[in-house]
Each structure stands twice: as structure tokens, then as C-alpha cells.
Amino acid sequence: MSLKHSYTLLAPIYDAMVASATASIRKKSLAQLDDVHGKKILLAGVGTGLDFEHLPAGAEYHGIDLTPAMLKRARRRIQSNQSIKLSIGDVTDLPFTDEEFDVVICHLILAVVPDPEKMIIEVERVLKPGGQVLILDKFIRPGQFAPCRKLLNLFIRHIATRTNVVFEQVLAHSPKLKLVSDEPTMVGGWFRRIKLVRA
């Protein structure tokens, strides 16, 4: 089963499964946005739009996702005072020009796609020099044994998410992206809030 098919099935129950567990970590991640007035911001793998209520006004937001059923729910969530354009697309092959965005938000997507290295290269490409990347996801540390997560990965990587992604190995593919901060958020630090800046 492809991720597009599984997220089509998950779409009606996604908010019930994820919304309350992630509300506070989303809020904290998006509180890192500086003054957004006039900025262009990409929400990569936007899902059902659970980030929308935490987005400061004044920016032009673009959300992209592979799954129409998730986007349909996101569309309903846009508030009248928000400028959010939604489109179908692949985060590992972004339909945007080089250096188009001031910020790329990657909440629960880098450890979802089968090829996170390809995604981070695309994020680096569409980001302006000095632009920021906000990441919220689950990663294992370099050299960490994590046998349960590696085993779990075999069962759920094709239907929901990967659980064996080593962030440092992914970041090594985007030399212009520099680490600004990396903080544990939940499940004993399995989930991390990471901020990068493009040199």
C-alpha cells in the first residue's frame, strides 16, 4: 500500500488520533516564527491543517500534500483572515522555484517520506538564503540501537511513518542548512523540535 492510499484511509480519523497529542508541541514549534509579515511560508506535507490555528497572520502560506483526502480537511480549516494556498504535490519533488520561501515548516513529514534525504535537498533548494526550517518529528540518534523502533519500522513505514530515521544522516545531504537548535519535545526525546537556517 502506498502512503497516499493509507493516508486516504487515515484522513477521517487523523485529527482524533493526532490533534490533542500534538497541539502543544505544534504551538511551541510555530512560536519560533519571527515577524512573518510579507513572508512566504511553505507547510510541507500539510495534512489536515492542524498547524493552521497556530500560524501568525501576515504571511502568505502555501501547503502541499500528496493526499487529496487530507487536503480536503485542511481546506475546511482555513480561517477567513488567513492566506493559505493548498495544492497537491510531492515534498520530494517540490513544484516551486529555487529560493522561493522564507520559511519551510516540516511537521511530521521528514520521518514519514520514504526518501527524507531527497526531501531535505528540496527544502534547501526552495529556501532563500537566511531562510528557516522548522522541523517537528521523531528521530533516532546516530548509533542508537533502538531495536523496537527499527522493528516497528518494518510494519508501519509503508502505511504511516518511518521510525528508524537518523536526523543527522538526513541533514548531511543539505550542506547549506545549518543547525540552530535541537530540543526534545515528547516521548522521552524521541520527538524533537529542530530549527535550521539556510546559510
Burial (Cβ within 10 Å: 0-12, 13-18, ≥19) of residue 42: buried
Examine residue 91 and tell whether it contacts ligand SAM (CB under 6 A). yes
Provide φ and ψ at 185, rounded to 5°.
-120, -50
> Binder to ligand SAM among 33, 41, 50, 171 (CB under 6 A)?
50
Examine residue 116 and tell whether it contacts ligand SAM (CB under 6 A). no
Which helix (H) or strand (E) covers residue 192, if one does?
A: strand 191-198
Determine the interface stretch with ligand SAM among 42-50, 148-156, 163-171, 173-181 (rule: CB under 6 A). 42-50
What three-state secondary structure class fits 108? coil
C-alpha closest to that of 89 among 44, 128, 136: 44
Q: In the structure grid, which three cell numbers stand for residue 74, read together?
A: 485542511
CB nearer to ligand SAM: give 49 or 131: 49
> Binder to ligand SAM among 29, 33, 39, 47 (CB under 6 A)?
47
Examine residue 113 and tell whether it contacts ligand SAM (CB under 6 A). yes
CB nearer to ligand SAM: give 19 or 199: 19
Examine residue 7 and tell whether it contacts ligand SAM (CB under 6 A). yes
